[in-house]
Amino acid sequence: MTGVALTAAQAGLVSCEACQLLARPANPEEPGYCRRCGEKLEFRRHASIQITWALIIAAAVCYIPANVLPVLNTTQLGTTEADTILGGVAFLYTSGSWPLALIVLIASVMIPLGKLVALAYLLITVQKGSVKNNHDRTRLYRMVEFIGRWSMLDVFVDTFTVALVQLQPLMSVAPGTGVLFFAAVVVLTMLAAESFDPRLIWDSATPTPVPNG
């Protein structure tokens, strides 16, 4: 779509985010609530950029301890070993199973990081009013949103292992603090992806500035 399409916001209309009902706003400042479903109407998500930024920064902060702190404490015959995610990757790689190492590396290290970078990129481009690569950026956003739900795999495996491997006194596994931060990273990036309004990507392409948060 090369032509400059009219957006609802440009037309002075607002679309309900829940039921997609297109409505006239109560006034330009306060669009009001949806007639049909009662959802609060917004031209653009309220403070989308600010909230997304906050969440991304929080996630980035959490990302560091998630990788530095151990996610699993394995007690084997009296010896406790603390494993971090990267340590696990290194162990898998050195023990020969590099495909597994790659999977863990991608799913647990690169994807959360990629999400953070992607969202930050989207936010920066939106704030700069970039008009390039709108389609790609939208695709990127969709991908981030889609992937979010799969990112809890690590936490999932962790909890399962902890629940299953309790062979006291021979062996036991306890969760490490890192997994909490990892879960926080995943949840925060999901929320960030959720709070980001992809409509902002397109707003820069249109001349009329849109009121947003």
Q: Is 75 helix (H, G, I), strand (E, B) or coil?
A: strand
Closest CA to 55 of 199, 213, 195, 206: 195
- The distance of closest approach from Cβ of residue 33 to another protein in the complex, given in angstroms and rounded to an integer, is 5
- The nearer residue to another protein, 172 or 177, going by C-beta atoms, is 177
22 near another protein, rule: CB under 8 A: yes
Q: Should residue 159 be labelled a site residue for another protein when binding is judged by CB under 8 A? A: no
- Residue 174 touching another protein (CB under 8 A): no
**Nearest CB to another protein, comparing residues 141 and 181:** 181
Query: CA Rg, the chain, in Å?
Result: 22
Q: Does 65 bind another protein (CB under 8 A)?
A: yes
Binder among 4, 19, 20, 35 for another protein (CB under 8 A): 35
Q: Which stretch binds another protein (CB under 8 A): 62-70, 93-101, 129-137, 139-147?
A: 62-70
What span, in angstroms and rounded, lies between the C-alpha atoms of 17 and 156? 31
Among residues 78, 128, 164, 207, which is the contact residue for another protein, using CB under 8 A? 78
**In terms of C-beta distances under 8 Å and separation of at least 24 residues, what long-range contacts does 116-121 make, across chains too?**
116/56, 116/59, 116/60, 116/63, 116/189, 118/143, 118/144, 119/52, 119/56, 119/144, 119/189, 119/192, 119/193, 119/196, 120/56
Intra-chain end-to-end CA distance of the chain, in Å: 27
For position 94 contacting another protein by CB under 8 A, the verdict is no
Among 10, 13, 117, 157, binds another protein (CB under 8 A): 13
Closest distance of CB 2 from another protein, Å: 14
Q: Does 57 bind another protein (CB under 8 A)?
A: yes
| Residue 199 identity | R
Report the alpha-carbon distance of residue 58 to residue 51 in Å, rounded: 10
- Measured CA to CA, the distance from residue 109 to residue 90 in angstroms comes to 12
Contact call for residue 25 and another protein (CB under 8 A):
yes
Q: Sign of dihedral through CA atoms 192, 64, 108, 174?
A: negative
Which residues are near another protein by CB under 8 A? Answer: 5-6, 11, 13-14, 22-27, 29-33, 35, 41, 47, 50-51, 54-55, 57-59, 61-62, 64-65, 69, 77-79, 81, 177, 181, 184, 188, 195, 213
